[in-house]
Amino acid sequence: MNTFGTLFRLTTFGESHGAAIGGVVDGMPAGVTIDMDFVRSEMARRRPGQSALVTPRSEADEVEFLSGIFEGRSTGTPIGFIIRNTDTRPKDYDDAARWYRPSHADYTYAQKYGLRDYRGGGRASARETAVRVAGGALAKLVLRDEGISVEARLAQVGCEKRAENMQVLIEQVKKEGDSIGGIVSCTITGCPAGLGEPVYGKLHAALGASMLSINACHGFDYGSGFEGVGMKGSEQNDAFVHRPDGTIGTATNHSGGIQGGISNGEPITFRVLFKPTPTILKPQQTVDSEGNEGVLAMKGRHDPCVAVRAVPVVEAMAAMTIVDFLLINACR
């Protein structure tokens, strides 16, 4: 269950405050040039500590590749890699060892496993997303060769959709020691028609599962989405038209590039909802593992709006999903 994908597969491991996190990419096509600068730049996009808007935790996030690459190219065998944890200040987490932090995974992990690694969220920490970004960088190298691009952006913070207002809102929430939700939108262009499988392997179902697996994700829609719930069929349907180049396209794209679960060649568009991160500095009512009630006031680092740093993670998950479906579709 720590593996993602069918033919292009990422298996991950690691806790936020253990020795290292890491992963194994299985199914990377052979012969792809591994552009290490690109991998580093992708890692840098997700890394905390880069602006006032995100958590000041600072990790080098250096990816050490251990296998599957020979003379600068992928060999087709699994690419194992690790990212050492270097900034783990365990003292910040004394309270966490005792108290169940509200809306974190502390309580549910304890219920499920009977014990838990309480250091900084353990396996449930957003630190795990660094491994996704590394895997996604490899996937993007495959997509680049196919002329497919994946671009996500912060579309909304709280109820704000204008960039300047989003920034002001995040700074204000941060000052309050609070957090706020947000929405990331993503567009995939250059994707050929025919990706996606009937019936349970619909392309949007796979994209949805990918996105919903990201920490703090609470919702997913594509095409016209929830905001289009009031549309009638006669408005929502995308008329087929001739394109000047002789191919068939659609006049509108309310389908978000996917019809019947299969890509139709139009840009694939979807939105990903992130709840406010549950780590806030305001005091909160909770209980401990003995069942004692109390008030927990967390200290330390926190992200006022996880949606900000989720942008490259959304891209990474989308890129891996598309590569997986390209490989599956190659079998037809």
Burial 229-264 (b: 16+ CB within 10 A, else e): eeeeeeeeebeeeeeeeeeebbeebbbbbbbebbbb
Rounded Cα gap, residues 39 and 204, in angstroms: 26
Q: If binding is defined by CB under 8 A, does position 321 make contact with a second copy?
A: no
- In the numeric block, which tokens belong to residue 234? 């006669």
Candidates 44-52, 137-145, 258-266, 308-316: pick the segment binding a second copy (CB under 8 A). Answer: 258-266
Candidates 35-43, 101-109, 133-141, 146-154: pick the segment binding a second copy (CB under 8 A). Answer: 101-109
Rounded Cα gap, residues 25 and 3, in angstroms: 10
Q: Which is nearer to a second copy, 91 or 229 (CB)?
A: 229
| Site pattern 34..73 for a second copy (x: CB under 8 A) | ------------------------------xxxxx-x--x
Q: Which of 48, 135, 276, 312 binds a second copy (CB under 8 A)?
A: 276
Q: Which is nearer to a second copy, 144 or 254 (CB)?
A: 254
Candidates 37-45, 46-54, 135-143, 175-183: pick the segment binding a second copy (CB under 8 A). Answer: 175-183
Q: If binding is defined by CB under 8 A, does position 286 make contact with a second copy?
A: yes
Q: CB of residue 139 vs a second copy: minimum separation in angstroms?
A: 14
Residue 142's nearest CA partner among 305, 285, 10, 293 is 10
- By the 10 Å C-beta count (0-12 exposed, 13-18 middle, 19+ buried), 83 is classed as buried
Q: If binding is defined by CB under 8 A, does position 299 make contact with a second copy?
A: no
Q: If binding is defined by CB under 8 A, does position 267 make contact with a second copy?
A: no
Beta-bridge partner residues of 217: 274
Q: Which of 175, 244, 245, 246 binds a second copy (CB under 8 A)?
A: 246
Rounded Cα gap, residues 218 and 234, in angstroms: 30
Q: If binding is defined by CB under 8 A, does position 130 make contact with a second copy?
A: no
Asked if residues 12 and 21 have their Cβ atoms less than 8 Å apart, the reply is yes
Residues 6+ apart with CB under 8 A from 45: 133, 311, 312
Q: Which of 40, 45, 144, 275 binds a second copy (CB under 8 A)?
A: 275
Q: If binding is defined by CB under 8 A, does position 144 make contact with a second copy?
A: no
Candidates 40-48, 86-94, 144-152, 255-263: pick the segment binding a second copy (CB under 8 A). Answer: 255-263
Instruction: Give the CA diameter of the chain.
Output: 70
| Window 146 to 165, contacts with a second copy (CB under 8 A) | 156, 158-159
| Window 176 to 205, contacts with a second copy (CB under 8 A) | 176, 178-183, 193-194, 196-202, 204-205
Q: If binding is defined by CB under 8 A, does position 234 make contact with a second copy?
A: yes
Helix (H, G, I), strand (E, B) or coil at 272: strand
Q: CB of residue 47 vs a second copy: minimum separation in angstroms?
A: 19
Q: Which is nearer to a second copy, 43 or 215 (CB)?
A: 215
Candidates 42-50, 102-110, 133-141, 143-151: pick the segment binding a second copy (CB under 8 A). Answer: 102-110
DSSP state of 276: P
Q: If binding is defined by CB under 8 A, does position 95 make contact with a second copy?
A: no
Kindly report the number of other CB atoms within 10 A of residue 201's CB atom.
Answer: 14
Asked if residues 154 and 166 have their Cβ atoms less than 8 Å apart, the reply is yes
Rounded Cα gap, residues 11 and 2, in angstroms: 6
